[in-house]
Amino acid sequence: MLKEKKVKDALIEAGLTRLRPILMTALTTIFGLVTMALGMGEGAELLQPMAVSTIGGLIYATFLTLTIVPTVYALFNHKRMKLEEEEN
């Protein structure tokens, strides 16, 4: 039978578990698009704006995934977290 974790402990464990895969995925894509964003080569001026906006979107989404989503989850579960703290 699985033991139920506290919300705070689950958030910390999930953050540590998912940090590396999220950063690796985002960074490999960002670094791959940097050459396109620099706009070197023939016809690059057509693809440069797409690369720059994609890089910006990836940075923004990574920040949201790693910080804002767990924070909002904790805010929605603040009553449960308070009850868990009172039990100890």
Residue 15 lies in a domain: yes
Residue 43 lies in a domain: yes
Return d(Cα 35, Cα 11) in angstroms, integer: 36
Residue 2 lies in a domain: no
Q: What is the pLDDT of residues 14-40, one digit of tens each?
A: 999 999 999 999 999 999 999 999 988
Q: Are 14 and 70 in contact (CB under 8 A)?
A: yes
Q: What is the pLDDT of residue 76?
A: 92
Residue with the larger pLDDT of the pair 2 and 48: 48
Q: Which domain holds residue 27?
A: 7-87
Return d(Cα 29, Cα 10) in angstroms, integer: 28
Q: What is the pLDDT of residues 50-79, one digit of tens each?
A: 999 999 999 999 999 999 999 999 999 888
Instruction: Provide the number of structural domains found in the chain.
Output: 1
Q: What is the pLDDT of residue 58?
A: 96
Angle at 58 between CA 54 and CA 59, to 5 degrees: 120
pLDDT bin (cut points 50, 70, 90) of residue 87 is confident
